[in-house]
Chains A and B, each alone.
Chain A
Amino acid sequence: AQTVTQSQPEMSVQEAETVTLSCTYDTSENNYYLFWYKQPPSRQMILVIRQEAYKQQNATENRFSVNFQKAAKSFSLKISDSQLGDTAMYFCAFMSGYNNNDMRFGAGTRLTVKP
């Protein structure tokens, strides 16, 4: 079974600085998708960024970018120019490209952006 590990339960960063959240996963598959979801205090999950495993180019969405290392099974999230509104839980998730009901989430990293 696929597993997703987020080794940093909590992190903090000063406003306007850059922070990187780590995620590793374990799979024997070659076709899969990776996601970062944000869960602010309101509790509602929001997609931050998505990466298809067959794409070598790292995904980028405005201030958010990933470092996808397929061989190392690593998928870190970099947040540039951190803003107070980035304070949230961040979840890394893996989805099998072969099994429609196989989606696994990591335990999350709580990020606090300090003014």
Chain B
Amino acid sequence: NAGVTQTPKFRILKIGQSMTLQCTQDMNHNYMYWYRQDPGMGLKLIYYSVGAGITDKGEVPNGYNVSRSTTEDFPLRLELAAPSQTSVYFCASSTAGLSYEQYFGPGTRLTVT
């Protein structure tokens, strides 16, 4: 049982480039989330999804896009990368919303230079 997997583990982008962070879970969870963690800070919610085809914004959605075509996958798209998007990105899933235990992936460390 792999849980929540994220790829890549590390990435360096140049300003203005785009990329997609992949997230897959094999627990059949309906809820999935994307967070970013800046140095010395707690996590901030970027986007979340309550099921295939349904997504919504979190606290810090600007500069990002998501899609949810299947229960398993929840990719995060960065368009026109900026230095302010340098962060560690975590994907998580849960059975029934944020009030329940979230299972986190190992994170993707992204640097934009």
* Cβ–Cβ contact B57 & A47, under 8 A: no
* Cβ–Cβ contact A47 & B102, under 8 A: yes
Tell me whether B43 is interfacial, beta carbon within 8 Å. Answer: yes
Q: How far is the CA of A104 from the CA of B58 in the complex (A)?
A: 11
* Cβ–Cβ contact B88 & A43, under 8 A: yes
* Cβ–Cβ contact B98 & A103, under 8 A: yes
CB of A29, distance to nearest CB on chain B (Å): 13
* Cβ–Cβ contact A93 & B42, under 8 A: yes
Chain-B contact segment, one of A14-22, A64-72, A105-113 = A105-113
- Total interface residues on B, CB under 8 Å, equals 24
Tell me whether A56 is interfacial, beta carbon within 8 Å. Answer: no
Tell me whether B56 is interfacial, beta carbon within 8 Å. Answer: yes
* Cβ–Cβ contact A106 & B42, under 8 A: yes
Cβ-neighbour of A91 out of B42, B45, B58, B92 (below 8 A):
B42
CB of B106, distance to nearest CB on chain A (Å): 5
Nearest to B50 among chain A residues (CB) is A100
Contact indicator per residue, chain A 18-61, by CB within 8 Å of chain B (1) or not (0): 00000000000000010000000011111100101000000000
* Cβ–Cβ contact B42 & A107, under 8 A: yes
Tell me whether B53 is interfacial, beta carbon within 8 Å. Answer: no
* Cβ–Cβ contact B88 & A101, under 8 A: no
CB of A92, distance to nearest CB on chain B (Å): 8
* Cβ–Cβ contact A4 & B107, under 8 A: no
Q: How far is the CA of A93 from the CA of B44 in the complex (A)?
A: 11
* Cβ–Cβ contact B92 & A45, under 8 A: yes
Q: How far is the CA of A105 from the CA of B40 in the complex (A)?
A: 12
CB of A60, distance to nearest CB on chain B (Å): 16
Given the complex, which residues of A lie within 8 Å of B45, measured CB to CB?
Answer: 101, 103
Tell me whether B84 is interfacial, beta carbon within 8 Å. Answer: no
Nearest to A43 among chain B residues (CB) is B107
Which residue numbers of A lie inside 8 Å of B, CB to CB? 4, 33, 42-47, 50, 52, 91, 93, 95, 97, 100-108
